[in-house]
Amino acid sequence: MSVEIQDIITFVSAFEPFNNLPEAELASLCGNIEVSYYQAGSQILEHGGTIDALHMVRSGSVEVFRRTGELYNRLESGEVFGQMGILLNGHVRYPVRALEDTLVYRIPSQKILEMCDLVAEFGDYFEFNEHSTLQQEVLNQADENDMTTVRVREIIQREPIYMSADTPVRECAQKMTEQNVTSAVILDQGSTATSPEEDDVLAPGIITDRDLRMRVLAAGLSLETPLREVMTTDLITIHHDAYVYEAMLLMLRHDIHHLPLVNNQKVTGVVSLTDIVQHESQNSLLLVRGIMLQETVEGLIELSPQIGQMMVRMQKEGANSHMIGTAMSVIGRAFKQRLLQLAEEKLGPPPVPYCFLALGSMAREEQLLVTDQDNALILSPNYHEDKHGLYFKQLADFVCDGLHECGYTYCTGGIMASNPQWRMTLQGWKEHFSHWIEKPDPQALLNASIFFDMDGVEGKTVWAEQLIRFIVGKAKNNPAFLAALARNALNRTPPLGFFKDFVLEIDGRQRYSLNLKRRGTAPMVDVIRVHALAEGSLSQNSFDRLEDLAASSLLPEGKKDELSDAMEYLSMIRIRQQVAALEAGEEPDNTVEPETLSSKERRGLKEAFQVLSNAQKFLRFRYTASQKSL
C-alpha cells in the first residue's frame, strides 16, 4: 500500500461515518478517492447539476447554500457534502462554494451506495443526515425518551367515577372503595349525571380520599354531608392529550395528587401521582415534595445537593432541555415557596397581601444549575411603607438569604426583593414598565431583558398575570420600543469568526472556551422575546413563545423550527457540560472548550450559532421605529 493511500486512510478513518467501516472496506473505498483543488471563491457544486461523488473536505473550508442563496452551513476539515444528491436523484440540492483554498476528497457515488448497503451504521448516517445536525439531534432526543411521546391519558389505570354534587359523602366513599379509586369527579352542582357525556359543562369539582379524611372525618362532619360542601373547586386541569412529563410537572408545581384530564370542556379522566410514579423512572422530581416538608432553612440547605443529582439523572435518562429547565425551575419555585412559608411562620402573617415574583430563567422555566436569584415583590394597594415596610424587608431578606444558602446565589445586579427598589404596588410596577417602554434608554432595556420574564410564585399570583398582560399590551403597540429592544438584542453576538472558526474567550479558569449562555442561549432568548412581544404572546417560556409565533407572519416560513432546534441544541450542550463537570467533581459553569467536543457536536454548534446570527440580522430590518404596525 502506497504512503499516499495510507495517509488518506488515516485521515478518513478519523471521522464519522467512515470510522464504522471494516478495515478492508475502508481501504477499498479510499483506494477510489480522487483529490480536487478549489481556489477561494470558486464554485464546487451548482444547484441542479449532476453529482457523481461524495465530497469530503481535506483542508480549507466551504460554504453550503440553500436554493434561495441563503447561507446554510460552513464545513471544514473532515466534513462531507453532496450526500443528499447521491441518495436521491443524482442532482445537487445544495450549492457549495470554496470559502478559502480547499482540498477535497471525491469518493465515487457507487462506492458510497455499496457501503450504505453493506454497513448499516454507515447507511444510517447518510440517510439521517437529510436533516441538519440540529434537527437530527432534536429528533434523536425525542426518540430516546417516551416522556415526550406518551400521552397522560395512556397511563391511567382505572376509569374515573362521576358523582353529583348532592351525593352524600358516605355514598361517594362507598363507591370509591368498590371501584378501588382515590378520587371522584363532580359533574355539576345540581346534576344527577353519571358520565361526562350527560353533562355539557366542565366539572366544577373533584373529591379525593385526602379530602374525605381532612374535610369530613377530621372535621367531624356528618357522613350525610353533600359533596358540594367538601369538594375541591377551582380545578387545575390538563388536556388529555398532554404528555406525561407536563402532567407530572403541573402536579408538582401546585402540590396536588390528582389531576383531571379535560377534552372538549369535559373531564375524561383523573391521573394520580401514583399513576405517574409507577410509569416513570424519573420520579426524582418528588424532591419538590421533600422541599415542602422541611421545617427549617437548615433542612432545605441539606436537600440542595439533590438538585444537581436530579439534573444528572434526567440528562442520563434522555430528558430534553425543555423538560430539564422546567423541572429545575419547579424545584427553584418550591424552595422559594417553602422559604416564604417559613418566613411567615417566623414573622407572623403578612399585614397586607403580596405576590412574590420569580424573574429571568426561572420565570421562563429554563433554569439550569449555574444561576443566581432574580426576584421581586408586588405589594397590596393598601401598602404603606411606614406601617408595613419593616415586615416585607424582613420577609425578603429571609427568603433571599435562604436562597443564597441553598445555592441560588445573590444577584450581583441587586435584582432581588431584598432591594427596596424592587418592592412596590401593582400600580407602581405599571408605572415603571410604562416608563421603560416609553423611554427605552440603555438602563430601561437592561431591565426589560430581566423583568419582562416574570411569574408569580406565591401569594396573589393573579397580580403577576395582570402585570404581564399590561406589559405585553403596551409593548406590542409601541414600535419605537420594539425597535430599541431589537437593537439591544444584537449586543451579544454568537462566537463565530468571519471565516469558520469559533471566537474563543478566556474564562475564569484561564481556558480558551465558549460561553454558551452569554453568547448562545441568552441572545437567543432576547431574539425570541422581541418577536413574542410584537405578537402579543403572554407565554414566558422561549419554546412556548415560538409556538405562539407558529401562525404569525412575523417570522419567515421555517424559521420558527430553526430557532427552536438551535435553542434546544445550545441548551443541551450546556446541560451536558454541567453534568460532566458534576460527575468529575468540578464546579459547573456555562463554558465549553471546543476541543472537548466531537466533530459532530462542533458542527451542530456552528449550525446553531449560524441560526442565531441570521435571526439577529433579521431583527435589524423587521423592527424599525418608523413602522406603524407589526
- Please state the rounded mean pLDDT for residues 177-190: 81
User: How many CA atoms lie less than 13 Å away from 416 in the CB half-sphere?
Assistant: 23
Q: Does residue 527 have a pLDDT over 50?
A: yes
- Please state the rounded mean pLDDT for residues 408-418: 94
Q: What is the pLDDT of residue 139?
A: 58
- Please state the rounded mean pLDDT for residues 94-118: 90
Q: What is the pLDDT of residue 629?
A: 45
* Separation of alpha carbons 564 and 555, rounded Å: 13
The beta-carbon contacts of 522-526 under 8 Å, at least 24 apart in sequence, are 522/492, 523/489, 523/491, 523/492, 523/493, 523/494, 523/612, 523/616, 524/563, 524/566, 524/567, 524/570, 524/612, 524/615, 525/364, 525/366, 525/453, 525/567, 526/449, 526/488, 526/489, 526/492
Residues 6 or more apart in contact with residue 331 via CB below 8 angstroms:
285, 287, 288, 291, 307, 310
DSSP conformation letters of 91-157: B-SS-EEESSSEEEEEEEHHHHHHHHHH-HHHHHHHHHTTS-HHHHHHHHHHHT-GGGT-BGGGG--
Helices and strands of the chain, counted as H and E runs: 24, 21
Q: What is the pLDDT of residue 282?
A: 44
Q: Does residue 192 have a pLDDT over 80?
A: no
Model confidence, pTM: 0.69
For the chain, what is the mean pLDDT?
86
Rounded to the nearest 5 percent, the helix, strand and coil shares of the chain are: 50, 15, 35
Shortest CA distance to 244 belongs to which of 138, 333, 319? 319
CB 619 within 8 A of CB 489: yes
pLDDT tens-digit map of 198-234: 444 456 789 998 889 889 998 899 999 999 999 988 8
Cβ atoms < 10 Å from Cβ of 424: 17
Specify the residue for cell string 461515518.
17
The percentage of the chain sitting over the pLDDT mark of 70, rounded to a whole number, equals 89
* Separation of alpha carbons 368 and 361, rounded Å: 8
Specify the residue for cell string 457501503.
115
SS3 269: strand
Specify the residue for cell string 472537548.
596
Domains contained in the chain, CATH given: 3-130 (2.60.120.10), 153-279 (3.10.580.10), 285-468 (3.30.460.10), 488-622 (1.20.120)
Q: Does residue 386 have a pLDDT over 80?
A: yes
pLDDT tens-digit map of 18-52: 887 888 889 999 999 999 999 999 999 998 888 98
Shortest CA distance to 426 belongs to which of 493, 353, 498, 370? 353
- Please state the rounded mean pLDDT for residues 533-546: 94
